[in-house]
Amino acid sequence: MASPVGTLMRHWRRERRMSQLVLATEMGTTQRHVSFVESGRAEPSRELVLRVARALDVPLRERNQLLLAAGYAPQYRETGLDAPALSQVQRALDRMLAQQEPYPAVVMDHHWDIQQANAAATALFTCLLDGPPPEPANVIRLMFGPLRPHVANFDATGDALLARVYREAVGGVPDPRTQALLEEIRPDAPPDFARPASPVVPVHFVKDDLDVRYFSLVTTVGTPQDVTLQEIRVELFFPADRVS
């Protein structure tokens, strides 16, 4: 009978479309040993679990789950952005948000909840929503909910956003909460991933006298060793129309 850690190993190996032989080669061990661990016939050491995680490019949050399933303590912290240990990163985020003015910028977590926004983003959302956005403001729920009537090119933008969720998911797999959110909105607007690609898909907001088009750049933290840092995204919006 497969052990909890063996079940998780098999899950991530299949997500990565990697055979036991290829995984064993990447880890520097034997296929027999990988098979024994997955089947529960062998108990992996802590070092082996971490080697498996590295070979399969498992996200840090899920690496902790692998360790727990094998009976070991988690290795990677999940630190709040307001913690002293992340003060340098927080200062960098603050500078990015400030420097993006007068254009919008937001910091999101892996659930697509907005953690921070600059003044331009807050003003834009407040204008479109006739009031401040809810807290926490979820980008997917907002776009497929109250913002939808104000997105002139929603068909293209909605499909592009759903494709982004999969593309930018940490480890390439949306977490259960994000997956549930996708299933919630998908019947209303099924994604069309086959739509012909264009250089960028701007979002076109229209409401009363407001008529703006933005494309965005997404930034992540390089070489993160903290769950929070691996999962945050900074999205900077730029005018898609020529600015004089």
Q: What is the pLDDT of residues 36-80, one digit of tens each?
A: 999 999 999 999 999 999 999 999 999 999 999 999 999 999 999
Inform me whether the pLDDT recorded for 195 exceeds 60.
Answer: no
**Among candidate residues 13, 37, 69, the one where a domain is terminated:** 69
Residue 99 and residue 36 share a domain:
no
Percent of the chain scored above 90 by pLDDT? 75
The arithmetic mean of pLDDT across residues 156-161, rounded, is 88
16: domain CATH number?
1.10.260.40
Q: Give the number of domains in the chain.
A: 2
Same domain membership, residue 197 and residue 111:
yes
User: Within this chain, do residues 179 and 88 fall inside the same structural domain, yes or no?
Assistant: yes
Task: Evaluate whether residue 184 is within a structural domain.
Answer: yes
Q: What is the mean pLDDT of the chain?
A: 90
More confident residue, 199 or 23: 23
Share above pLDDT 70 across residues of the chain, in percent, rounded to a whole number: 93
Co-location of 165 and 227 in the same domain: yes
One domain for residues 231 and 122:
yes
Residue 75 lies inside a defined structural domain of this protein: no
Instruction: Report if residue 230 sits inside a domain.
Output: yes
> In this structure, are 211 and 102 located in the same domain?
yes
pLDDT at 140: 92
CB-based contacts of 82-91 (< 8 A; 24+ apart in sequence) = 85/226, 86/226, 86/228, 86/229, 89/221, 89/229
| Backbone angles phi and psi of 187, in degrees to 5 | -60, -30
Residues 107, 115 contacting (CB under 8 angstroms):
yes
pLDDT score of 19 more than 60:
yes
Backbone angles phi, psi at 218, to 5 degrees: -115, 130
Sorting pLDDT into bands at 50, 70 and 90, what band is 160? confident
pLDDT in tens, 2-18: 789 999 999 999 999 99
CATH code of the domain containing 125: 3.30.450
Structure confidence at residue 27 as a pLDDT band (50, 70, 90)? very high
Domain presence at residue 77: no
Longest dimension (CA), the chain: 68
Asked if 97 and 31 sit in the same domain, the reply is no
Q: How far, CA to CA in Å, does 39 sit from each of 35, 60, 71, 80, 119? A: 6, 24, 16, 37, 54
What is the pLDDT at residue 244? 44
Tell me which of 31 and 164 has the higher pLDDT: 31
One domain, residues 92 and 188: yes
CB 118 within 8 A of CB 137: no
Q: Which domain, by its residues, includes 43?
A: 4-69
Residue 225 and residue 115 share a domain: yes
Instruction: Let me know if residue 54 belongs to a domain.
Output: yes
Residue 240 contacts residue 215 (beta carbons within 8 Å): yes
Stretch among 126-140, 173-187, 217-231 having the lowest mean pLDDT: 173-187
| Pair (96, 190) in one structural domain | yes
Regarding whether 63 and 109 lie in a shared domain, the answer is: no
Q: Distance between CA atoms of 117 and 123, rounded to whole angstroms? A: 10
